[in-house]
């Protein structure tokens, strides 16, 4: 498998990849876009930092072999995530590897905003002794407002508490218990703006956060507020920040990220007083680079070796523990989805999935993707866990997922229904049986069966009459096909019976025609799982 390392990562990460049996590692640091397109052909994975852009053209060039794109860092602005999903490629980053480095840089900026260290150092090199003009203030007993309490925000909060600061936090996804455990007070954004002496942002750049700190936000802040951004460029409006610094509303600020990088040589930010600038150094420590390089190498290896997915940004992660828990169900899920798709006769509009029993406590998202992947395998090419949801939407198929608290006959049960426009419903239910967690189909269209979900199966619905099994068996035998197993069921005596025969090979068209010609047969379908 070809691994294209397009941007330079830690040698520890590259060496890890080279030690993997069956991997061909291609190092192409600093390559032009045209060269990246050429090298992407036949690649199973591509690893980048922030320099190389992984565009839709790259995904087109690398299809269908490309399985993963890994970003050695947090931001994925240089990766077309929508195109990745379209092509069924998982995109992963390394949000934990640079946590400490970025938190420490943020605190460095805060300290330099409180005490003019950079300015004083520059004056010393110029031969001056400006002791009186470089006074500062203390962090002790000041209030820090943190916008975004993810990994980095939490680490900044720890350091602020150690300096004796009060910490306010704004994060719509922060639970009360987690805030209490971190010793921070949750507030709304306007309260944080109005009450904080220092404000730092640790949020992703989205439509909601772009320009979040603008003229109006700065006007609502304390006079002499200090602002810092070591997260993503664009969250603080740079023009508004300059106005605040010029007016004195903002006493000091520090930026490590910018709306456009690298920062233009003639940017007015470079001339602003009391503004400390660093060239996107958030992850630029030896420890962080080793950490993210090794982490992304391990993540890519996991995807290619066993399907384990860590820190994915375009699908739920399937780490080792999650795979261990849901793994036994994935074969069953795929089989259930494929079975109802093959049995459905009319145009399907909706797939309804119901989880019952202990399975309701598992990761339903992963299981649902497995079902949809199975449903789509004969409908669309290159379907996998990454793009199954998107492809369903493109086909106009709705997906309803329910977790039922009602009692069922099994410890855990998965029911999949295909609802057609005319009201027809085809359903199948499955569970795991025995110590080996063997997957079993236990119901088709409401009739109890017990079928191993693999290989070729003949599914027959017929009037409950004498001799049907013998007639069908005779036709199958005459066709030279062996019946490996058979499961029979009916809804009532004289009603409609269900016959599921597991076959060692396909039946001929002639044999299928003979079976369908039997008067009592209402439906006969060969299913391949």
CB 162 within 8 A of CB 146: no
Task: Give catalytic status of residue 202 as yes or no.
Answer: no
What per-residue confidence (pLDDT) applies to 302? 92
Give how far the C-alpha of residue 350 lies from the chain's centroid of Cα atoms, to the nearest Å: 24
- Residues 500 and 487: beta-carbon distance below 8 Å: yes
Catalytic residue among 232, 369, 419, 440: 232
Is there a catalytic annotation at residue 232? Answer: yes
pLDDT score, position 139: 98
pLDDT digits (tens, 9 = 90+) for 360-391: 888 788 899 999 999 998 887 678 888 888 88
Residue 317 pLDDT greater than 80, yes or no: no
Give the number of other Cβ atoms within 10 Å of residue 485's Cβ: 13
Specify the pLDDT at position 178.
87
Helix (H) or strand (E) holding 151: helix 151-162
Q: Pick the closest to residue 253 from 133, 365, 112 (CA basis).
A: 112
Residue partners of 205: CB distance under 8 A and separation at least 6: 75, 77, 231, 232, 233, 234, 235
pLDDT band at residue 205, thresholds of 50, 70 and 90?
A: confident
Examine the pLDDT at 280 and tell me if it is beyond 90.
Answer: yes
SS3 479: coil
Query: Could you give the 3-state DSSP secondary structure of residue 113?
Result: helix
- Of 71-85, 146-160, 290-304, 371-385, the poorest mean pLDDT is in 371-385
User: Is residue 491 packed enough to be buried (19+ CB in 10 Å), middle (13-18) or exposed (0-12)?
Assistant: middle
| Catalytic position from the list 261, 287, 320, 349 | 261
From 57, 280, 298, 490, the catalytic residue: 280
Model pLDDT, residue 381: 67
Helix (H, G, I), strand (E, B) or coil at 425: strand
Q: Are 14 and 27 in contact (CB under 8 A)?
A: yes
In angstroms, the CA 148 to CA 494 distance is 66
Give the model confidence (pLDDT) of 98-155 as tens digits.
899 999 999 999 999 999 999 999 999 999 999 999 999 999 999 999 999 988 999 9
Phi–psi pair at 404, nearest 5 degrees:
-95, 140
Question: Would you call 280 a catalytic residue per the annotation?
Answer: yes
Which domains are assigned to the chain?
2-96+288-306 (3.40.50.720), 99-277 (3.40.50.720), 317-454 (3.30.1330.90), 455-529 (3.30.70.260)
C-alpha closest to that of 44 among 377, 319, 312, 300: 300
């Amino acid at each position: 498998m070809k691994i294209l390392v397009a941007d330079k990562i830690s040698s520890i990460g590259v060496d890890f990849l080279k030690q993997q049996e069956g991997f061909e590692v291609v190092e192409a640091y600093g390559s032009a876009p045209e060269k990246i397109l050429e090298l992407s052909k036949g690649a199973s994975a591509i690893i980048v930092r922030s320099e190389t852009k992984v565009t839709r053209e790259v995904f087109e060039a690398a299809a269908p072999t490309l399985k993963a794109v890994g970003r050695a860092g947090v931001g994925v602005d240089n990766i077309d995530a929508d195109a990745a999903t379209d092509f069924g490629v998982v995109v992963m980053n390394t949000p934990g590897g640079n946590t400490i480095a970025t938190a420490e840089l943020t605190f460095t900026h805060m300290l330099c905003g409180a005490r003019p260290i950079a300015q004083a150092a520059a004056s010393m090199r110029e031969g001056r002794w400006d002791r009186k003009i470089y006074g500062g203030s203390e962090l002790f007993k000041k209030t820090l407002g943190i916008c975004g309490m993810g990994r980095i925000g939490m680490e900044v909060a720890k350091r602020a508490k150690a300096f004796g600061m009060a910490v306010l936090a704004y994060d719509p996804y922060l639970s009360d218990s987690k805030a209490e455990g971190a010793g921070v007070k949750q507030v709304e954004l306007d309260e944080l703006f109005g009450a904080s002496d220092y404000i730092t942002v640790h949020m992703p750049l989205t439509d909601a956060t772009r320009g979040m700190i603008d003229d109006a936000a700065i006007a609502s802040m304390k006079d002499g507020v200090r602002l810092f951004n070591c997260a993503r460029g664009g969250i603080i409006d740079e023009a508004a920040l300059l106005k605040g610094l010029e007016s004195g509303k903002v006493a000091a600020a520090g930026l490590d990220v910018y709306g456009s990088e690298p920062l233009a040589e003639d940017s007015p930010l470079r001339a602003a007083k009391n503004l400390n600038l660093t060239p996107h150094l958030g992850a630029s420590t030896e420890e962080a680079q080793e950490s993210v390089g090794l982490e992304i190498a391990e993540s890519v290896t996991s995807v290619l070796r066993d399907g384990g997915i860590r820190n994915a940004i375009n699908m739920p992660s399937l780490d080792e523990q999650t795979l261990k828990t849901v793994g036994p169900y994935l074969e069953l899920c795929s089989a259930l989805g494929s079975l109802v798709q093959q049995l459905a006769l009319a145009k399907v509009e909706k797939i309804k999935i119901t989880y019952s029993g202990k399975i309701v406590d598992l990761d339903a998202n992963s299981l649902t993707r497995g079902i949809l992947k199975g449903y789509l395998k004969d409908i669309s090419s290159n379907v996998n866990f990454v793009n199954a949801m998107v492809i369903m939407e493109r086909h106009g198929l709705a997906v309803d997922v329910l977790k039922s608290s009602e009692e069922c006959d099994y410890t855990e049960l998965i029911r999949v229904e295909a609802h057609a426009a005319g009201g027809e419903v085809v359903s199948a239910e499955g569970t795991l049986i025995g110590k080996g967690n063997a997957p079993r189909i236990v119901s088709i269209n409401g009739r109890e069966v017990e079928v191993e979900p693999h290989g070729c199966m003949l599914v027959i619905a017929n009037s409950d009459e004498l001799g049907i099994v013998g007639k069908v068996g005779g036709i199958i035998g005459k066709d030279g096909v062996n019946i490996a197993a058979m499961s029979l069921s009916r809804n009532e005596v004289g009603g409609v019976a269900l016959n599921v025969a597991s076959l060692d090979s396909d039946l001929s068209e002639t044999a299928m025609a003979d079976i369908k010609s039997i008067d009592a047969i209402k439906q006969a379908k060969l299913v391949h799982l």
